[in-house]
Amino acid sequence: MEWNFDNTYLKLPKIFFTEIHPDSLVNPKFVLFNNEVAKKLNIENNIQSKNDILKIFFNNKKSKYIKPFSQAYAGHQFGYFTILGDGRAHIIGEVISKNNERFDIQLKGSGKTPYSRNGDGKATLGTMIREFIISESMNILDIPTTNSLGVIITGEEVLREKIEKGAILIRIAKSHIRIGTFQYANMYEDKNYIKELTNYTIDRHYPELINKKNKVEIFLEKVMTKQINLIINWLRVGFIHGVMNTDNMSIAGETIDYGPCAFMDEYNPNTVFSSIDRNGRYAYKNQSKIVLWNLSRFAESILLLLDRDEKIAIKKAQKILNKFQTIYSQGWLKMMKNKLGLIEENKNDIKLIQELLDIMHVYKLDYTNTFVDLNNNEINKHKQFKTWIEKYDERKEMEKKDKLYLKNIMKKNNPKIIPRNHIVANCIKEAEENNYNYLSEFLESFKKTYDEVDFPESLKKLPSNEEKVFQTFCGT
């Protein structure tokens, strides 16, 4: 296999990582392999290259050319600061893709590390399948995300509430640098650490800033813009991340760390799925506020690089963070208008959108399907929208672009199907019984979610009462 691993992260000060090998495995086996991701990384989808991967990653004590490591980081978990780190993950190295982009290859569930605390360093097949399905779905939905190259079963048993199959996910990410990595660097007296991490991150993700005089300010603003873009996309498709702790927010702006995340069926802004989110901190409607909260923690961590004078530094940070609300509101409005096929400006648009959402909320209508009905001019089948449709039709008259153009915009912004919780649960259940057909068929269909395809009723309809999944679990 022609793979050149690079290890730029290991040039950072030693506090940022521990060099450590993943556990060796006697008989690891691929159960899922992502062709598209493999292609991007120049990996062929054949037995030979899969065997090479297994050999290099899990029988690697003898390998000269990889230097695996686990990252150190900290983070606010549900508002409380904790020192964390990769407790069950190893980065094998960085690879350069066909398009000359640099990606981390990380194993998740690959054994204990110095950061494992009380954990066993392992992951279950069910949770890794969940990350595989949802990260691939985000990719298909055109939302920045880490990717999954594959899922491997380890042959080990993992004890959770019951005995489960052990598995490892091979994760591909622009990097694994998190807001929590900056919080970790900032804990130290030695201010060189935060400086080195910031320079490294700018070099890696924002190279256009390297020679700018006020590069740290622009860096903060760029990270903010990326996070806003991400969250607006989540809201567009009804995605609820579930654990937006600062250690789960990637500086590269990708959706990362799929735990108890889920897509909303009936529209309700208060929706929470995660069993551990008891106060709804990470509910659908709170996600944008939490991004701002997390970005404030990020700004605090790089404060001394904004200015030597703390007061001036705080002012600079505030000035940037104060732009959040405007950028977010404008972005949200544009996104919602795209969903409705509206482009021109009109002062009543927010009201029109809010009314639509309110009707969906009150009458417990499905978020995805209501927008599909709008796309298909079938919204009038819901009597509740009668007066709203009159206003919408009138508003559409103000558009200058032709109908086809507007329809296309709607198409690109309204998925026809989503990975509904009960579908994901079914994929996992079948996979745990060694049947991957249901999962593959679902993902194959899902690839066409933005197309004019008539999907089977089973993928469109809401779950029945028996099928409904009310809670999702971290499963760590």
Catalytic residues: 247
The identity of residue 145, as a single letter, is T
* CA atoms within 13 Å, Cβ hemisphere of 234: 30
Q: In which region does residue 191 sit, left (phi positive, over 0), alpha (psi from -120 to 50) or beta (all else)?
A: alpha
CA distance linking residue 16 with residue 183, whole number of Å = 12
Nearest approach, Cβ of residue 5 and ligand AMP (Å) = 22
CA distances from 91 to 2, 13, 404 (A): 18, 16, 47
- Of 221-250, binders to Mg ion (CB under 5 A) are 248
Stretch that binds Mg ion, among 223-231, 253-261, 289-297, 440-448 (CB under 5 A): 253-261
Contact partner at residue 9 from ligand AMP, Mg ion, none, CB < 5 to 8 Å by partner kind: none
Contact partner at residue 243 from Mg ion, ligand AMP, none, CB < 5 to 8 Å by partner kind: ligand AMP
CA distance linking residue 106 with residue 54, whole number of Å = 13
* CA atoms within 13 Å, Cβ hemisphere of 358: 7
Contact partner at residue 86 from Mg ion, ligand AMP, none, CB < 5 to 8 Å by partner kind: ligand AMP
Which residues are within 8 A (CB) of 464 and not within 5 positions of it... i.e. 6 or more apart? none
- The gap from C-alpha 412 to its chain's centroid, in whole angstroms, comes to 19
Q: Give whichever of 136 and 257 is closer to Mg ion, judged by the CB atom.
A: 257
CA dihedral 217→219→220→222, nearest 10 degrees, is 120
Nearest approach, Cβ of residue 471 and ligand AMP (Å) = 16
Q: What angle, rounded to 10 degrees, do the helices at 215-237 and 324-340 form?
A: 30
Please tell me whether residue 254 binds Mg ion under the rule CB under 5 A.
no
Contact partner at residue 445 from Mg ion, ligand AMP, none, CB < 5 to 8 Å by partner kind: none
Q: In which region does residue 257 sit, left (phi positive, over 0), alpha (psi from -120 to 50) or beta (all else)?
A: left
DSSP class of residue 463? Answer: P
DSSP string, 203-267: HHH-GGGTT-TTHHHHHHHHHHHHHHHHHHHHHHHTEE-S---GGGBBTT--B---SS-EE-SB-
Q: Give whichever of 113 and 413 is closer to ligand AMP, judged by the CB atom.
A: 113
Please tell me whether residue 265 binds Mg ion under the rule CB under 5 A.
no
Nearest approach, Cβ of residue 258 and ligand AMP (Å) = 9
Token look-up 């567009």 returns 236
Q: Give whichever of 1 and 474 is closer to Mg ion, judged by the CB atom.
A: 474
Q: How many residues in the shown chain lie near Mg ion by CB under 5 A? A: 2
Q: Give whichever of 274 and 370 is closer to Mg ion, judged by the CB atom.
A: 274
Contact partner at residue 286 from ligand AMP, Mg ion, none, CB < 5 to 8 Å by partner kind: none
Per-position x/- string for 48-87, each x denoting binding to Mg ion as judged by CB under 5 A, each - no binding: ----------------------------------------
Nearest approach, Cβ of residue 108 and ligand AMP (Å) = 8
The identity of residue 25, as a single letter, is L
Residues of the shown chain interacting with ligand AMP in the complex, contacts defined by CB under 6 A: 84-88, 115-116, 119-122, 243, 247-248, 257, 259, 474, 476
Stretch that binds Mg ion, among 90-98, 146-154, 227-235, 251-259 (CB under 5 A): 251-259
Contact partner at residue 120 from ligand AMP, Mg ion, none, CB < 5 to 8 Å by partner kind: ligand AMP
Q: Give whichever of 181 and 248 is closer to Mg ion, judged by the CB atom.
A: 248
Residue nearest to Mg ion (CB): 257
Nearest approach, Cβ of residue 259 and ligand AMP (Å) = 5
Q: Give whichever of 83 and 292 is closer to ligand AMP, judged by the CB atom.
A: 83
Residues that bind Mg ion (CB under 5 A): 248, 257
